[in-house]
Amino acid sequence: MKVLHGSQDVWEVVQQGFEEPKNTTGYTTAQNKTLKETRLKDKAALYMLYRDVDESIFEKIASA
């Protein structure tokens, strides 16, 4: 999984996690762009996990 996520440039968000900011008021254009990119990477990483993990294993991961 590390190689797959690394090849798609999403490993960093998997490793560090992503927390949606509570308030983006006052964000600069650059900060908003970075936030949008990070959201996309987070969703891409989740999609790859959902797609590549067997349903029974996924249930074990989700409950951990």
Mean pLDDT in residue range 30-45: 95
- Nearest-angstrom CA–CA distance, 62 and 28: 35
Per-residue pLDDT at 25 exceeds 90: yes
Q: pTM of the full predicted structure?
A: 0.76
Per-residue pLDDT at 49 exceeds 90: no
Mean pLDDT in residue range 55-63: 79
51: tokens are 């797609």
Mean pLDDT in residue range 44-49: 88
Mean pLDDT in residue range 10-25: 92
Residue ranges of domains in the chain: 2-14+28-63
- Give Cα separations from 42 to 2, 26, 32, 49 (angstroms): 14, 23, 15, 11
Q: What DSSP letter does each residue of 4-63 carry, written as one string? A: HHHHTT-HHHHHH-----S--TT--HHHHHHHHHHHHHHHHHHHHHHHHS-HHHHHHHHH
The mean predicted confidence, pLDDT, of the chain is: 89
